[in-house]
Amino acid sequence: ERMRASPWLVVHLHGGRRRTLAYAPHSGVWLTVHVQAPRHALPLNVRLVRSARGDRVCALSSSFLGTSACVSLKAPMVWRVDPVLAAVGDRIVALGGTCPLALADGEAAAAAEVHESGNWTTCDPLPSMLREYAAAAWLSAAVTGQRVYLTDTTTGWTSWFDPLMRRWGPTGCLRPDASVYTWGVAPGRAGAERLMLLGAKRDGEEANRVVVQAWEVDGDALDLSPGAAHDAMPAELSDRLFSHDEDHDELTTSGCPHRSGFAATQQEGTCTMRLSQPMGPCSTI
């Protein structure tokens, strides 16, 4: 059974000034979700929206989607409880995470929708290799200026979606190291469709120690970049991310604003990697 990452704490304040607050356990920061919701729209589902300009939070209900940038949109046509949400340019993308009990005849559980010019458009569903666990809990997402990349955190199967062309790219299995048990992706270097593939595995000599490795990936073909050698996160930093006494750990990645690097987070802390070079040094927060 797959294990979830540490959940966010969401607080709904009722009364004259109705507000929704979200606490990020990794960074220790409280965020205010600005929404203008009718009273019948609660309860709200607070979700993370991936973006090349920095991740943000939103409130999702059956009738609307409100972002922390004070923008309120109609909810996707298919009701979703755990979708991957991404902002690509001026478009919002909703992928997977549907509620099976709310699906109408003919609606796909792994449906993809794009919001543009005030309306949602239904697109082809997720590729077959990503449909079994088509929810944010089991998919790692990375967003560039043109695409949303999805990776199954257990199998390494990866594909990308272009919301402008409303089409899916190739599907490939990114498993350069068979001993890795959890995978994550993050945006790569600026100016090119590059990804950083991260994998966590147990150290062969010390079974209670986790090793985090990174590879650069060609985003178009989903192949390892020619000549790209993997790099390992320093042990003192990976120790901050993973507890030695846990059997299952999940690696969560997040793109940094302006695509200057990525952040890898776990229950115990956050580490960042700068991408000014093909492989950059790690630092801890």
Looking at residues 153-160, what average pLDDT do you find? 96
DSSP count for the chain of H helices, then E strands: 1, 25
Looking at residues 61-89, what average pLDDT do you find? 81
Whether 143 and 192 map to the same domain: the answer is: no
Mean pLDDT is highest, among 12-26, 73-87, 118-132, 177-191, for: 118-132
pLDDT given at position 170: 97
Whether 151 and 178 map to the same domain: the answer is: no
pLDDT given at position 16: 54
Which residues are registered as beta bridge partners of 88?
91
Looking at residues 268-273, what average pLDDT do you find? 50
Whether 193 and 242 map to the same domain: the answer is: yes
Q: Is residue 129 situated within a structural domain?
A: yes
pLDDT given at position 41: 46
Q: Residue 6: pLDDT above 80?
A: no
Q: Is residue 162 situated within a structural domain?
A: no
Q: Is residue 169 situated within a structural domain?
A: no
Distances (CA, A) of 107 to 84, 118, 165, 178: 17, 21, 21, 35
Whether 17 and 134 map to the same domain: the answer is: yes
Which tens digits make up the pLDDT trace of 201-260? 887 676 678 888 889 999 999 998 876 556 777 777 777 666 555 554 566 665 544 344
By the 8 A CB rule, do 110 and 96 touch?
Answer: yes
Whether 150 and 186 map to the same domain: the answer is: no
The total domain count for the chain is 2
Whether 106 and 225 map to the same domain: the answer is: no
Q: Is residue 165 situated within a structural domain?
A: no
Whether 106 and 204 map to the same domain: the answer is: no
- Nearest residue to 116 via CA among 68, 52, 73: 73
Q: Is residue 240 situated within a structural domain?
A: yes
Q: Residue 268: pLDDT above 70?
A: no
pTM of the model: 0.74
By the 8 A CB rule, do 85 and 141 touch?
Answer: no
Q: Is residue 106 situated within a structural domain?
A: yes
Whether 256 and 137 map to the same domain: the answer is: no
Whether 151 and 231 map to the same domain: the answer is: no
pLDDT given at position 171: 97
pLDDT given at position 161: 98
Per the model's pLDDT, the better-predicted residue between 258 and 261 turns out to be 261
Residue 87: band (very low, low, confident or very high) from pLDDT cuts 50, 70, 90: very high
Whether 229 and 196 map to the same domain: the answer is: yes
Domain ranges, residue 203 = 174-285
Which of 123, 155, 187 lies at the terminal end of a domain, its last residue?
Answer: 155
Which of 93, 124, 155 lies at the terminal end of a domain, its last residue?
Answer: 155
Whether 207 and 276 map to the same domain: the answer is: yes
Which of 102, 126, 155 lies at the terminal end of a domain, its last residue?
Answer: 155
Which tens digits make up the pLDDT trace of 98-124? 877 777 777 787 889 999 988 999 999
Whether 34 and 62 map to the same domain: the answer is: yes
- Dihedral, CA atoms, 161, 178, 214, 135, nearest 10 degrees? 40
Mean pLDDT is highest, among 32-36, 59-63, 114-118, 257-261, for: 114-118
Per the model's pLDDT, the better-predicted residue between 147 and 200 turns out to be 147
Q: Is residue 164 situated within a structural domain?
A: no
pLDDT given at position 42: 46
Residue 129: band (very low, low, confident or very high) from pLDDT cuts 50, 70, 90: very high
Q: Is residue 167 situated within a structural domain?
A: no
